[in-house]
Chains A and B, each alone.
Chain A
Amino acid sequence: MSRRSWLRRTAAGFGALAFHDIAHSASNPLAERAAAFPARAKRVIFLFMSGGPSQPDLFDPKDYIARMHGKTISAPVNTNELRVGTDKFLALAAQSAVRPRGQSGMMISDLLPHTARIADEICLLRAMHADNNQHQPAALQFQTGVTAEARPSMGSWISYGLGTENQNLPGFITIHPDSDTRLYGSSFLPAAHQGTKVIIPGGEKDSPIDYLRDIGGDAKVQRARLDFTQRMNRRLLESVRTDARMEGMIESMEIAFRMQTATPELVDLSRETEVTKRLYGIGRPECDKNARACLLARRLSEAGVRFVQVTMGGWDHHGDIRNALPKSCAASDQPCAGLIQDLKSRGLLEDTLVVWSGEFGRTPWSQDLSGTSPIEKHGREHQPESFCTWMAGGGVKPGLTYGATDDFGFKPVSEKVHLHDLHATILHLVGLDHTKLTWRHMGRDFRLTDIFGEVVSKILA
C-alpha cells in the first residue's frame, strides 16, 4: 500500500464529507472537478507569515540604505498618508548579512540559514505590492482579495473550483489561524468550502478542533444517548416522508461521532520517523510549534486536502527589530525549509504549490514610536508598497528572483506583482482561470480577483 493511500484510508474515519453541508448536497459540492486547463499543481500549501516580515532585512537590502544608516532619506512617499514614528525617515540598514545563495545566487539573509539552503528550489518575488497598510484589512485582502467586507477566502475559492481529492477530508484546512474567522470563511460560497480550523494539541487538554471531547466522559453512555436521538430523528423523518435537511442532520451526527476518534488520529504525528521530525525542527523549542504545523500540512496535502494554510505569527516588529526578528526567523525558518525538502524527497513538490508570504512587508526606514530611543532600538513600519513573497513547487521557476525595487527598497520598479496577480497566478497553477471562477451573489458574478489580476507568466516553469 502506498503511503498516500494509507493516509487516505486512515483519514476515512474522519467522516465522509466531514465538513460538507449535507443538507444542500443535491450535487456534492466537494466532488472532485476537472481543472479548466492542465494544472501544474494539484494542491496548495500557504505559509502565512502574519504581521509582515521585514524584507529589507531578509531578502531586499539596499546599498543606499546601508550607506545612509541612521540618516534621513527622502523616499517618494504618498503624502496623503498619516505617519506615526516614521516621520524622520531614518535609513535602517539590514541587521545581518544578506548573501547570494545556491546556483542562482538568490539573496537571502543569514537569519534564514535553512531557507538559504533551498534557494534553488524557490522563486522569489521581490516586487510584490498590495493596497492596505494595516494588519486586518491587509490580511483580509491577502486571503479574500478585498480589504473589507466578508468575501470567500482563497482556500474556499480553490475548494469550490476543484473539489477535494479526498472525500473524507475537507477541501480547505487552516492550521493555527489568526482570530479573524473571515480569513478562512466561505462567505457566500457554500459552507462546505469554509476553512476548517485545526489546532495541533500541545497537551492533553487541547482539542484539535472544537467540541471534539466527549462532554459526558463515557463513550458508551454517549452512544446510547445518540442512538436515542437518532431514533427520534428517524421517526420524525418518516412522519414527514422526505426532507433533505433532516437527512443531512442525521448523517452529520454520525460523522461528528466518528470524528471524535478519527481527528486525533489524523493530527497524530507519532507515526512519522525521527529523521522526518528532525528535518522540520520538531523538538527544538524555538520552532517546535511551527515544525509540527508544517509536518501536519504535508500529511494533509499528501492525503488530498486541496488547500492547507499554516499561519505563523510574530512578524510585526515596530520596535527593537534587532532583537525580535532573529527570533521570528528561528521560529519559522527550519519548519518552512524542512517542508520543501520533505515534499521534494517524496516527489510531492512537483505538483504541490507552496507559497510563503506576509500580508505586507516593512519599511526600509526606521520606526520609533517613543520618539526618543536610539536607532539600535528602532523597528520598521508596515509597507504594502513593496514586499517579498516566495513560491516553490508546482509549476513555478525554481531559483528565479523576479522583480526589483527602487534604491530605497520602497517602490517596485520592474516585474511588479500585485496581490491580485499573485491570486490569478495561484489559481492558474492549479488549473483555474481567475476570470471564470465566479459565483453569482446579489445579481453579480464575484471573483477572487474582483476585476483585477493578471497571471505572471514569466515565473511559470
Chain B
Amino acid sequence: MLLASAAPADEGAAFFEAQVLPILKNRCYECHSHEGRIDGGLALDSREGWMDGGSIVPGSIGRSRFSQLLRIGDPAKQMPPKHRLPDLEIAMLETWIAMGAPDPRVSASAGKKKPVIDIEAGKKFWSYQPVCDQRPPEVKDASWPLTNVDRFILAKQEAAGLRPAGDADRFTWLRRVSLDLTGLPPTPEMIGQFVAGGADTSDSSYRYARVVDTLLNSSAFGERWARHWLDLTGYADQIGTSNNVFAEHAWRYRDYVINAFNNDKPFDQFIREQIAGDLLARHESNPARQAEMITATGFLVLGDVEIVAVDKLKMEYDLIDNQLGKIGTAFLGQTLGCVRCHDHKFDPIAMQDYYAMAGMFRSTSSTYKTDNGVWSSVNKIDLPETPGQKAARLRRLAENDASIHLREAERDEAAKSKAGFDKQLATASGDQKPSLEKQRDDLDKKIKALNGQIEHAKFFAPVAAKAFAVHDVEKPQDMRVTIRGNPYALGDEVRRGFMRVAMWDAPEVIPANESGRVQLANWIANRRNPLTARVTVNRIWQKLFGEGIVRSVDYFGTRGDPPTHPELLDYLASNFMRHGWSVKQLIRELVLSRTYRQCSTLHATGADPDNRLLTRTNRQRLDAEAIRDSMLAITGRLTTCGRGPALPLEYPENVTSLSPKAVNPPAFSFKKLRPIQDFERTIYLPVIRSAGQPGSAKLRDVFDFTQPALIAGRRPETAVPTQALFLLNSDQIRTRATELATLITQSTSGTSSRLDALWLRVLNRPITGAERDDAAKLLAELPAEKAWIELSHALLSSNEFLIRM
C-alpha cells in the first residue's frame, strides 16, 4: 500500500537499486543488518527490517527519525556515528523517503519463500497421536509371560520366529535389580536370604517381589534415580559457564529431586512443581510444602546459564532459550532450541509455537544484576520457614555474631600490639631490630588471618534458607518473535500458548497477571498430552533394559528412532497415567517381568544382532556413580549422608573474592573437601561445570559422566584406556582395595572362607573351583602383606565388577 503512494513501482525500485542501496550498504549495514548487528532494532537490509522499526515513514521526511539522525549535527547522536554523510547522499536518501521509500527487497531473514508448517499434517506423526490404551496380545507360549509386558515382548518374538533367553540365575538377577534400583550391589545378607529357599516355582514370585519392594523402599533408590533426572537438568553446584561462581543453594533442588523419587511423588506433580512451583505454592499453607515447591523451580535456572554477559537483554533471551530447550528435551522429547531462529526444519514446530511459550519465560524473572562488575546471578529466593526453623536460625545467628565479636576483639588487640612494635622499631638499635620485626610481622599475619575469618563469617552468616528459583515479573506479557534470534530485531507479537502439534483442545486461559507457567505445566503434565508420558516411561524403560523402546530417548521428532514396540509403549504410558503417574509402580512392574529376568547370553547367533526384540538382557557398564558407590558399599565405608550443601564453603580457604562489590563474584576453589565426602554417595559430591570434578568425584570424568552443560537422558558407555589406567593406578581404587583386604582378613580366617567372602562381596556370587585355584596361586606368588590387597584390587578392576550382566 505504502509503496504505491508516490512513485510507480518499477521506477521506484530502479532508483532504490541505483542510488539508495549502495549508500545503505556502505554506510549502514555494519550496524544495521543481519550481516552485522541490528542496533536499536533497525535492520536496513530488508524492507521488513526498517518497516518494523518505524524510524522511516514512507513519504514523510519530517516524520522520519531516520532523516533527523542524518542531519542532527551532534557527533554523539548522529548517524552514522563518526562521520556525517556527504550532503549528496543525505539528499538521495531523503528523495527516496519522499518517493514513498520503495524497496523491492524481500526479507533477509526469509530469503527464499518459507515453507509453511502444516500443524494438522504434523499431527499424523506417531508421537503426536494420542496415547492409545493397548490390550496385551495373545501369545503361543502362555507359560512364559509373568506380566502383560512379557506378552507384548513375546508376541513380537514369536512373530519373528525367535525365542526368549532362559532366566538368569538368582545371583545375577539380584545383582542386576539391586544395581538398577539403588546403584549399589546386594549385601551378602540379602544374597543369602534371597538365594536360600530352593528352586523357583510358580509361587516363588513373592520372593522376587519382596526384594524389589525392599529396594524401592530404601533411600538408596531415590539417590540413584534422582541422578538420572539431574542428567536432564544441567545440574551443577556452580552457576553459569564462567569462572567458579558457587551455587550455594543448588543442593536444595538436588535434595528435592531425591525426596521426590523416594516419596514416589506423582510424576505429573513433579513436572508441575518444577515449571510452576512458585505459583502453585500460593495455594499452600504449610511452609515446608511451600518451600519444597519454590525449590522445585530450580529446574529452570540451574542449567548452563550464562550470567556474565555484558548485554543483559541478549543474556535474558539466551536463558529463555535454555529453559525452553530443557523443557522440550526433558519432558517432551522435542528440540525446541532449533525454533528460536526459524521454523523447525523437520518437525511440525513453528516459531509461533516457540515464542508462544517463550513469552511465559519472558514474563518470568530468573536472574538479577549483582553489584559485581558485569555479573548477574540466578535469583535467590527466601524460603518460608517454620517457627522452629526460624528460632534455630536466630540461635545460630547469635552464635555467629558472638564469634565475630570475639575475633574482632582479638584482631584489635593484635593491632594495638603491632602499633607498639612499630613504635619500638622506630627507635630500636640494629641488633634489636630483627627480633622486633619478626614479632611485628607475626602479628601482621595474625591480623590478616583474623580479617579473613571475620569476612568469611559475615558473608556466610546464617540467614533464612534460600533456593535458586523463579517468580513472575510484575507485568507479564506476550513476546515478539525475534529475527534470527536477535533480541533487537523484533517481529510480530505472539500470544502465549503451547506447541500446537501436541494440543487437543483450546488452550487453557492464562490469567492476565500471570506468566502462564501454571497453564504450561498443566498442558505438559496432562493425560492427553501425547508426548509426556511416552517420553517418561521410555526413559525408565531404557534405564532398566539398556535401550529405549524409542532408542533416541531424548528425541521423539520425525528424525528420531521409531518405537520397536509401539503398542507396548502406549500400554505402559496409559497404565502409568492411570496409576497416578507412579514411578515406583512402573519400575516394579518392569523388573518383575520375565523379560527383565532373562539372562544376557546370546543363544541364537545371527538373528536380531541389535537385540531389538529383547531375546536377552542387554548388559550395561556401571555408570560412574554406581562404580564409586559400589566400591564404598563393598568395603563397608559408604556413609549415610546428612544431605545439605555439597560445597564445603565453611572452609575459608575454599572461597575467594567475598567482597560484595568486587569485579568478580565470590568464587570457589577446591582446596579442601570435607573428610566425610570421600565416603558419601556420589550424588552428594559437588558437581563442577568449568573444570574437572573434585576429589574422589574425579571418577565421574573418567567414566562418562554427563557434562552438566548437556541435557541428556542417556550416557555413553565408552571403553577407553584412560579408564583402564584409572583401574590400574588410581589412589581411589587402591584405597578401596586396601580397605576391602582389611575387612576380609579381619572378619574371616582361612584362605578358603576369605575367598568365599571376597567373591560374594565384590561379584555377588559364589567363587568357582577354577577361580579358587587361580586365586590361591596368585596369593602364594605375592608378598604376604600385599597379597589380599592385590587380589581385592584385581577383582575391583575386573569386567565382572564393572558390568551389570
Same assembly: yes
- Known contacts: A82-B374, A225-B793, A228-B794. The answer to whether A245 contacts B719 by CB under 8 A is yes
Specify which chain B residues have a CB less than 8 angstroms from the CB of A23 in the assembled complex.
717-719
- Shortest Cβ gap from B200 to chain A (Å): 21
- Shortest Cβ gap from A10 to chain B (Å): 18
Most chain A CB inside 10 Å of its own CB: which residue of B309, B710, B723, B728: B728
Identify which of B552, B619, B790 contacts A225 (C-beta below 8 A): B790
Specify which chain A residues have a CB less than 8 angstroms from the CB of B214 in the assembled complex.
none
Specify which chain A residues have a CB less than 8 angstroms from the CB of B725 in the assembled complex.
209-212, 256, 259-260
Specify which chain B residues have a CB less than 8 angstroms from the CB of A149 in the assembled complex.
304, 709-710
* Bound-complex Cα distance A369 to B664 (A): 11
Tell me how many residues of A have a C-beta within 8 Å of chain B.
Answer: 81
Let me know if A324 is at the binding interface, CB within 8 A.
no
Identify which of A224, A232, A243 contacts B798 (C-beta below 8 A): A232
Identify which of A147, A211, A232 contacts B799 (C-beta below 8 A): A232
Chain B contact residues, majority secondary structure: loop
Identify which of A84, A136, A252 contacts B241 (C-beta below 8 A): A136
* Bound-complex Cα distance A243 to B786 (A): 33
- Shortest Cβ gap from A149 to chain B (Å): 5
* Bound-complex Cα distance A18 to B600 (A): 29
Let me know if A226 is at the binding interface, CB within 8 A.
yes
* Bound-complex Cα distance A125 to B730 (A): 45
Let me know if A137 is at the binding interface, CB within 8 A.
yes
Q: Is the beta-carbon distance between A250 and B799 smaller than 8 angstroms? A: yes
Q: Is the beta-carbon distance between A228 and B241 smaller than 8 angstroms? A: no
* Bound-complex Cα distance A22 to B39 (A): 51
* Bound-complex Cα distance A16 to B802 (A): 23
Q: Is the beta-carbon distance between B721 and A252 smaller than 8 angstroms? A: yes
> Which B688-733 residues have C-beta < 8 A from chain A?
690-692, 701, 704, 707, 709-710, 716-731, 733
Q: Is the beta-carbon distance between B774 and A243 smaller than 8 angstroms? A: no
Q: Which residue of A lies closest to B698 (CB)?
A: A210
* Bound-complex Cα distance A242 to B304 (A): 40
Identify which of A21, A150, A185, A228 contacts B719 (C-beta below 8 A): A21
Identify which of B605, B690, B723 contacts A180 (C-beta below 8 A): B690
- Shortest Cβ gap from A311 to chain B (Å): 14
Specify which chain B residues have a CB less than 8 angstroms from the CB of A187 in the assembled complex.
707, 710
Q: Is the beta-carbon distance between A443 and B799 smaller than 8 angstroms? A: no
Specify which chain A residues have a CB less than 8 angstroms from the CB of B189 in the assembled complex.
none
Q: Is the beta-carbon distance between B602 and A21 smaller than 8 angstroms? A: no
Let me know if A78 is at the binding interface, CB within 8 A.
yes
Let me know if B399 is at the binding interface, CB within 8 A.
no
Specify which chain B residues have a CB less than 8 angstroms from the CB of A225 in the assembled complex.
778, 782, 790-791, 793-794
Q: Is the beta-carbon distance between A443 and B318 smaller than 8 angstroms? A: no
- Shortest Cβ gap from A342 to chain B (Å): 30
- Known contacts: A134-B308, A224-B782, A232-B800. The answer to whether A185 contacts B602 by CB under 8 A is no
Specify which chain B residues have a CB less than 8 angstroms from the CB of A232 in the assembled complex.
771, 794-795, 798-800
Q: Which residue of B lies closest to A253 (CB)?
A: B724
Identify which of A20, A228, A252 contacts B774 (C-beta below 8 A): A228
A166-180 interface code vs B (CB 8 A; 1 in, 0 out): 000000000000011
Identify which of B75, B312, B726, B728 contacts A257 (C-beta below 8 A): B728
B351-377 interface code vs A (CB 8 A; 1 in, 0 out): 000000000000000000000011000
- Known contacts: A245-B717, A443-B557, A444-B335. The answer to whether A211 contacts B728 by CB under 8 A is yes
Q: Is the beta-carbon distance between B241 and A215 smaller than 8 angstroms? A: no
- Shortest Cβ gap from B715 to chain A (Å): 11
Let me know if B346 is at the binding interface, CB within 8 A.
yes
- Shortest Cβ gap from B78 to chain A (Å): 11
- Known contacts: A211-B729, A443-B346. The answer to whether A243 contacts B619 by CB under 8 A is yes
Let me know if B498 is at the binding interface, CB within 8 A.
no
- Shortest Cβ gap from B571 to chain A (Å): 26
Let me know if A31 is at the binding interface, CB within 8 A.
no
- Known contacts: A148-B241, A187-B710, A257-B728. The answer to whether A443 contacts B719 by CB under 8 A is no
Q: Is the beta-carbon distance between B692 and A21 smaller than 8 angstroms? A: no
> Which B555-609 residues have C-beta < 8 A from chain A?
555, 557-560, 600-602, 605
- Shortest Cβ gap from A404 to chain B (Å): 14
- Known contacts: A22-B720, A256-B728. The answer to whether A369 contacts B663 by CB under 8 A is yes
Specify which chain A residues have a CB less than 8 angstroms from the CB of B704 in the assembled complex.
191
Let me know if A241 is at the binding interface, CB within 8 A.
yes
Specify which chain B residues have a CB less than 8 angstroms from the CB of A224 in the assembled complex.
778, 781-782, 790
Q: Which residue of A lies closest to B805 (CB)?
A: A240
* Bound-complex Cα distance A365 to B93 (A): 34
- Known contacts: A212-B729, A215-B731. The answer to whether A242 contacts B310 by CB under 8 A is no
Let me know if B621 is at the binding interface, CB within 8 A.
yes
* Bound-complex Cα distance A226 to B729 (A): 11
Q: Which residue of B lies closest to A413 (CB)?
A: B30
Specify which chain A residues have a CB less than 8 angstroms from the CB of B791 in the assembled complex.
225, 228
Specify which chain B residues have a CB less than 8 angstroms from the CB of A24 in the assembled complex.
718-719
- Shortest Cβ gap from A21 to chain B (Å): 4
- Known contacts: A215-B728, A225-B793. The answer to whether A181 contacts B552 by CB under 8 A is no
* Bound-complex Cα distance A133 to B335 (A): 28
Q: Is the beta-carbon distance between B728 and A226 smaller than 8 angstroms? A: yes
- Shortest Cβ gap from B77 to chain A (Å): 11
Q: Is the beta-carbon distance between B709 and A81 smaller than 8 angstroms? A: no
Specify which chain A residues have a CB less than 8 angstroms from the CB of B338 in the assembled complex.
444
Specify which chain B residues have a CB less than 8 angstroms from the CB of A18 in the assembled complex.
721
Let me know if B81 is at the binding interface, CB within 8 A.
yes
* Bound-complex Cα distance A314 to B283 (A): 54
Most chain A CB inside 10 Å of its own CB: which residue of B81, B82, B729: B729
Let me know if B243 is at the binding interface, CB within 8 A.
yes
Identify which of B37, B552, B557, B774 contacts A231 (C-beta below 8 A): B774
Q: Is the beta-carbon distance between B730 and A211 smaller than 8 angstroms? A: yes
Specify which chain A residues have a CB less than 8 angstroms from the CB of B784 in the assembled complex.
none
Let me know if B18 is at the binding interface, CB within 8 A.
no
- Known contacts: A80-B313, A148-B304. The answer to whether A136 contacts B690 by CB under 8 A is yes
Most chain B CB inside 10 Å of its own CB: which residue of A249, A257, A260: A249
- Shortest Cβ gap from A271 to chain B (Å): 25
* Bound-complex Cα distance A411 to B81 (A): 13
Let me know if B311 is at the binding interface, CB within 8 A.
yes
Q: Is the beta-carbon distance between A21 and B720 smaller than 8 angstroms? A: yes
> Which A110-144 residues have C-beta < 8 A from chain B?
132-137, 140
Identify which of A78, A132, A181, A228 contacts B39 (C-beta below 8 A): A78
Most chain A CB inside 10 Å of its own CB: which residue of B335, B701, B778, B790: B790
Q: Is the beta-carbon distance between B373 and A229 smaller than 8 angstroms? A: no
Q: Which residue of A lies closest to B783 (CB)?
A: A221
Q: Which residue of B lies closest to A135 (CB)?
A: B242
Q: Is the beta-carbon distance between A181 and B701 smaller than 8 angstroms? A: yes
Specify which chain A residues have a CB less than 8 angstroms from the CB of B690 in the assembled complex.
136, 179-180
- Known contacts: A136-B243, A256-B728. The answer to whether A15 contacts B552 by CB under 8 A is no
Specify which chain A residues have a CB less than 8 angstroms from the CB of B601 in the assembled complex.
239-241
* Bound-complex Cα distance A252 to B723 (A): 8
Let me know if A19 is at the binding interface, CB within 8 A.
yes
Q: Which residue of A lies closest to B372 (CB)?
A: A84
Q: Is the beta-carbon distance between B309 and A229 smaller than 8 angstroms? A: no
Let me know if B772 is at the binding interface, CB within 8 A.
no
Let me know if A373 is at the binding interface, CB within 8 A.
no
Q: Is the beta-carbon distance between B242 and A233 smaller than 8 angstroms? A: no
Specify which chain A residues have a CB less than 8 angstroms from the CB of B329 in the assembled complex.
442
Task: List the 8 closest A-B pairs by CB distance, nearest first.
Answer: A256-B724, A443-B559, A23-B719, A179-B691, A248-B719, A81-B310, A136-B242, A211-B725
A-B contact pairs, 13 of them (CB 8 A): A23-B717, A23-B719, A78-B39, A140-B241, A215-B728, A224-B781, A224-B790, A228-B774, A229-B795, A232-B794, A245-B803, A249-B724, A256-B722
Give me the interface of A with B, judged by CB distance under 8 Å. Answer: 15, 18-24, 74, 76, 78, 80-85, 132-137, 140, 147-150, 179-182, 185, 187, 191-192, 209-216, 221-222, 224-226, 228-229, 231-233, 235-237, 239-243, 245-246, 248-250, 252-253, 255-257, 259-260, 369, 406, 411, 440, 442-444
Given A181-B691, A211-B725, 8 further pairs, Cβ under 8 A: A21-B718, A24-B718, A80-B488, A84-B663, A136-B242, A221-B782, A228-B778, A246-B799
